[in-house]
A = this chain, B = another copy of it.
Amino acid sequence: MPDRINKIELKPPYLLFLGDVADDIDAKTSLGLAYWRPELCIGQCRLGTPVDTGLPDMTPTEAAAAGACSLIVGVAPVGGSFPELWIESLKEGARAGLDIVAGMHTRLPQVPGLAEAAEAGGGRLVDVREPPKGIPIGSGKRRPGRRVLTVGTDCVVGKKYTALVLERDMKARGLNATFRATGQTGIMIAGEGIPIDAVVSDFVAGAAEVLSPANDPGHWDVIEGQGSLFHPGYAGVTLGLLHGAQPEAIVLCHEATRTVIDRWPDYPIPDIPAVIDRYLEAGRLTSPAIRCAGASINTSKLPPSERNEYLNKLSDLIGLPCVDPVVDGVGPLIDNLEGAS
């Protein structure tokens, strides 16, 4: 039922390109893909990296012969541009007919020789940082289908991870759920999406509407949040996404030890009840009955002995379930979301 205009769409199965990156952090998108979508990954292409996704090693030519449709550059090189060593592999993949997919500062058509190789091979060059054309202005019209948006006290507090766990565990319960990606890593994992922070500002709410269109009444869109209403650089993106998503519920994501916005030390994070209130107040514009289903907390920086106490205290404070999705899963959040149906 959902239409699929105006979104980036990737073609599986994938060859995960790892190059010669130094460690797991630089390869987190590839590792995320192998973890969240193993059924879509056919192999990995390594050029001397110690990182290992556990998938079979293949050259791009071998991967194409084995049925791969896309080579995914799910790694971050130092400096954001493509090393010489990588370019030969990407061209090999392109000549073999693979789509080449990346989200780096250097755009794919600017990589020397790559456009010609893609032309010869017949595949696409797909940049997941490049928003699709034709995104409309947000209509604000109510649409059927259930939607939950992960929101955060800050960037990098687990909004994408929480949304992916929600999707996985909803499906495990037999619910009909779709993860909706709004950032480049999420788009690579989902195989589709819109890089919301790269959309021209007038069209952010419209992009969120396109991304989570009208759907069956029982279907859940689990939408990856971006930024934070409390971030002095990005709050506008967050608000546009919230308005366009029209979620019936939000899940608040937070890192337990964070007290100020990361790298904006003059910006304290308000206390959690105030954060939730502000999100709900802002979200009511397009979703009048919006509610918070609970909190998803990254407690990894707390001593293990303090984690339960932290979550219990917060749960008492806000009167909602609070989980660490890595430790506890998100069962209580899904209970709460479904309970309101």
Contacts and interface: CB of A to CB of B under 8 A. Distances in A.
Interface of A: 137-141, 196-202, 204-206, 230, 232-241, 243, 264, 266-267, 278, 281, 285-286
Contacts of A240: 201, 235-237
Contact of A201 (B197, B264, B266, B267): B197
B197 A202 contact: yes
A140 B266 contact: yes
Nearest 4 CB-CB pairings of A with B: A236-B240, A140-B232, A138-B233, A197-B202
A264 B141 CA distance: 9
Given A237-B236, A239-B236, A267 B197 contact: no
Contacts of A237: 201-202, 204, 236, 240
Nearest to A246: B232
27 contacts: A137-B233, A138-B232, A138-B234, A139-B233, A140-B266, A141-B266, A197-B200, A198-B201, A198-B202, A199-B200, A199-B201, A201-B237, A205-B233, A205-B234, A205-B235, A206-B233, A230-B285, A232-B243, A232-B285, A235-B243, A235-B285, A236-B236, A236-B237, A236-B240, A236-B243, A239-B239, A267-B285
A280 to B, nearest CB: 13
A198 B197 contact: no
Instruction: Name the residue in A199, A205, A240 with the highest tally of chain B Cβ atoms < 10 Å from its Cβ.
Output: A240
Among A197, A236, A281, A286, max chain B CB count under 10 A is at A236
B232 A202 contact: no
A286 B232 contact: yes
Given A197-B200, A202-B237, A232-B285, 10 more contacts: A138-B233, A140-B266, A196-B201, A200-B200, A205-B232, A205-B236, A206-B233, A235-B239, A235-B240, A236-B240
A164 to B, nearest CB: 22
Contacts of A140: 232-233, 264, 266-267
Contacts of A230: 285
A51 B72 CA distance: 58
Given A140-B266, A236-B239, A240-B236, A198 B198 contact: no
A240 B238 CA distance: 10
Nearest to A230: B285
Contact of A236 (B198, B201, B266): B201
A107 to B, nearest CB: 14
